[in-house]
Chains A and B, each alone.
Chain A
């Protein structure tokens, strides 16, 4: 039985219950001091005009990714001045910031913004701090950050992790992968699972030698869709037979919403994006794919497709860490798109 309260999360490594690690961009660190920095635009303003600046920020939603940063700090050189954070430099140019500030006469006069030179580049932590200690460190070294507890950990605590169910699913796909290997096929296996109803929806292996693009994840997603098409067809027949007029939208499944995916190897960009399109809930994988994987920050180009801010869907991803189980997963060539 799942036990929510006993969830044990290491805030630094994000290892959960000592068994699997949450994969999150910017969060997997080998050294606690290697904080990823990014550039932002700031302005120096008269200290007594802080309200004008805050009002300006409220009226202009500038960029995303600033929520963990305080908007004002004391000027390092002049006590009667403050330094205000306007926008992230990866989203807008210096010129755009200047234009934004100048759009309102009152704002740029009161804040004493006269030229582009008044916009100053600063280095700020790219991601929210992971611990209170780190928040203090960041604030001292780079730019003051806000610490409200770790929202990621709060979110994880809402999730149910049934350890028995997770390890059983993983053991199952490993066993199938071994059989695949013995058959001379690629030992990559994926399972789609409905954690709510404790139901296996599809288990599929890699079939790229039948069809070059039939990776195991794609096969699984395809099978779930085909099953739903069939189910609705049968339902329609039943309805016709019963002359029942009820069109129950809630009984219709939408893609893979709410489902978990278990897979033997970290999926490639093709498969990860298929999971985004399918709106899955969580991904559990066993072996990393350093050259072709699209989940872990240190795989391939570090796409982290499951947590991209720009895509319209995100899902949790977890990598199994128990070396004993990992040893039993068949090895594949690093150059393969999984």
Chain B
């Protein structure tokens, strides 16, 4: 992983966001991902397919993993243990990073350690299903698994998961989705009034320490971003100047953020005019301005 910069991570996340946008156009929950080999080569992409497949488990990460296994010929028509193939899978994924717009859920978080992913970079926290720190720390927990080869083929590898790459963009995509759609879900068992409800014009604060240690934070985001950690711990929002990811360097997502702001204004105008009301989710009867993030 030579010459790794924050800029490359943002660049790859931009591509994952494109996947999420494509999912949104296809009326799927807008979550997208990208698998990158050796910090350079994109080996697969994925987006949520739960609506099309009528399966609650076709999440972007699993779709992307399937593509890699196919592409590198790592599946078999016969259900027989093959030591060489198993070894190849772990070898390959140990050099692959995942970029995903929303924190992997508990299911995907577990699948990722079972295939031995190198690292995960995500946009927004997943307050309802998150398995990389929000609800469970599936990526970190030491289960004391001993690697056994042979017919039982036991494998397990913990991994680091870094938050806040393209977070606002990821949230806005979900918000757009939940304003108009997903009438299929029966009333989920959630508390009526809680922190998972998002104000239309605000973003939840990112609490970095739920996902990484301060040392890991500084190593990944650099000393120049230490104010982000401090603000995150104190629960205060960043100022606009602090919101720029790195001083003296233009966040590659900044142009998008401007677009997003314009778009938000447009949406707010539409809501005021009652245009969006037509698409309102009647089942939930939510206030249009309060939208749930994440989920299926």
Which residues in A have some Cβ–Cβ distance to B below 8 Å?
61, 64, 184-186, 207-213, 218, 221-222, 225-226, 228-229, 232, 254-257, 268-274, 276-279, 291-292, 294, 300-301, 303, 305, 308, 310-314, 332-333, 335-337
Q: Do B76 and A209 touch across chains, with their CB atoms under 8 A apart?
A: yes
Chain B positions within 8 Å of A272 at CB level: 106
Q: Do B54 and A270 touch across chains, with their CB atoms under 8 A apart?
A: no
The majority secondary structure among interface residues of chain B is loop
Instruction: Tell me the number of A-to-B contacts counted with CB atoms below 8 Å.
Output: 149
Contact with A along B95-136 (1 / 0, CB 8 A): 000000000011101110011000000000000110100011
Expressed in whole angstroms, the minimum distance between the Cβ of A242 and any Cβ of chain B is: 23
Expressed in whole angstroms, the minimum distance between the Cβ of B2 and any Cβ of chain A is: 29
- B151 CB-CB contact with A under 8 Å: yes
Q: Do A335 and B145 touch across chains, with their CB atoms under 8 A apart?
A: yes
Q: Which of B82, B129, B156 contacts A273 (CB 8 A)?
A: B129
Q: Do A213 and B153 touch across chains, with their CB atoms under 8 A apart?
A: no
Chain A positions within 8 Å of B135 at CB level: 308, 310-311
List the 6 shortest-distance A-B pairs measured between CB atoms, nearest first. A225-B55, A273-B107, A270-B110, A335-B154, A277-B56, A273-B106
- The distance in angstroms between the C-alpha atoms of A292 and B142, with both chains bound, is 11
Expressed in whole angstroms, the minimum distance between the Cβ of B141 and any Cβ of chain A is: 5
- The distance in angstroms between the C-alpha atoms of A230 and B74, with both chains bound, is 28
Chain A positions within 8 Å of B144 at CB level: 291
Chain B positions within 8 Å of A269 at CB level: 106-107, 109-110, 131, 136, 138
Contact with A along B183-202 (1 / 0, CB 8 A): 01110111101000000000
- B203 CB-CB contact with A under 8 Å: no
Q: Which of A207, A218, A268 contacts B79 (CB 8 A)?
A: A207
Residue of B whose beta carbon sits closest to that of A183? B79
Chain B positions within 8 Å of A294 at CB level: 110
- The distance in angstroms between the C-alpha atoms of A97 and B31, with both chains bound, is 36
- The distance in angstroms between the C-alpha atoms of A299 and B168, with both chains bound, is 37
Residue of A whose beta carbon sits closest to that of B134? A310
Contact A211 B54, CB 8 Å, known A269-B138, A270-B107: no
Q: Do B69 and A211 touch across chains, with their CB atoms under 8 A apart?
A: yes
Residue of B whose beta carbon sits closest to that of A231? B54
Chain A positions within 8 Å of B66 at CB level: 211
Q: Identify 18 new A-B residue pairs, CB closer than 8 A, beyond the known A209-B78, A211-B75, A273-B105.
A: A184-B80, A209-B80, A209-B82, A210-B76, A212-B69, A212-B86, A226-B55, A254-B186, A269-B110, A269-B138, A277-B129, A278-B57, A292-B143, A300-B143, A310-B128, A312-B188, A333-B148, A337-B154
Q: Do B75 and A210 touch across chains, with their CB atoms under 8 A apart?
A: yes
- B62 CB-CB contact with A under 8 Å: yes
- The distance in angstroms between the C-alpha atoms of A218 and B58, with both chains bound, is 10
Chain A positions within 8 Å of B53 at CB level: 225-226, 229
Q: List 27 A-B contacts (CB under 8 A).
A: A61-B193, A64-B191, A185-B80, A207-B79, A209-B80, A209-B81, A211-B69, A212-B89, A213-B111, A213-B114, A218-B57, A222-B55, A225-B53, A226-B53, A228-B54, A254-B185, A268-B110, A269-B131, A271-B107, A273-B107, A276-B129, A278-B55, A279-B56, A300-B141, A300-B143, A313-B189, A314-B189
Interface centre among B82, B147, B184 (most CB of A within 10 A): B184
- The distance in angstroms between the C-alpha atoms of A226 and B49, with both chains bound, is 13
Contact A185 B79, CB 8 Å, known A229-B53, A292-B143: yes
- The distance in angstroms between the C-alpha atoms of A226 and B146, with both chains bound, is 35
Contact A274 B107, CB 8 Å, known A221-B55, A291-B144, A336-B154: yes
Q: Do B114 and A270 touch across chains, with their CB atoms under 8 A apart?
A: yes
Chain B positions within 8 Å of A273 at CB level: 105-107, 110, 129, 131
Residue of A whose beta carbon sits closest to that of B69? A211
Q: Which of B79, B109, B147, B156 contacts A210 (CB 8 A)?
A: B79
Q: Do B145 and A291 touch across chains, with their CB atoms under 8 A apart?
A: yes
- B180 CB-CB contact with A under 8 Å: no
Q: Do B295 and A312 touch across chains, with their CB atoms under 8 A apart?
A: yes
Q: Which of B128, B141, B154, B189 contacts A333 (CB 8 A)?
A: B154
- B7 CB-CB contact with A under 8 Å: no
- B3 CB-CB contact with A under 8 Å: no
- B18 CB-CB contact with A under 8 Å: no
Q: Do B77 and A210 touch across chains, with their CB atoms under 8 A apart?
A: yes
Chain A positions within 8 Å of B107 at CB level: 269-271, 273-274, 276-277
- The distance in angstroms between the C-alpha atoms of A294 and B119, with both chains bound, is 23
- B251 CB-CB contact with A under 8 Å: no
- The distance in angstroms between the C-alpha atoms of A224 and B190, with both chains bound, is 26
Q: Which of B159-214 contact A (CB under 8 A)?
A: 184-186, 188-191, 193
Q: Do A336 and B75 touch across chains, with their CB atoms under 8 A apart?
A: no
- The distance in angstroms between the C-alpha atoms of A310 and B188, with both chains bound, is 12
Q: Do A332 and B193 touch across chains, with their CB atoms under 8 A apart?
A: no
Q: Which of B81, B152, B189 contacts A336 (CB 8 A)?
A: B152
Residue of A whose beta carbon sits closest to that of B135? A310
Chain A positions within 8 Å of B115 at CB level: 212-213
Q: Which of B46-96 contact A (CB under 8 A)?
A: 53-58, 62, 65-66, 69, 74-82, 86, 89
Chain B positions within 8 Å of A256 at CB level: 56
Expressed in whole angstroms, the minimum distance between the Cβ of A134 and any Cβ of chain B is: 27
Chain B positions within 8 Å of A332 at CB level: 152
- The distance in angstroms between the C-alpha atoms of A314 and B189, with both chains bound, is 8
Expressed in whole angstroms, the minimum distance between the Cβ of A249 and any Cβ of chain B is: 9
- B296 CB-CB contact with A under 8 Å: yes
Expressed in whole angstroms, the minimum distance between the Cβ of A175 and any Cβ of chain B is: 18
Chain A positions within 8 Å of B81 at CB level: 184, 209
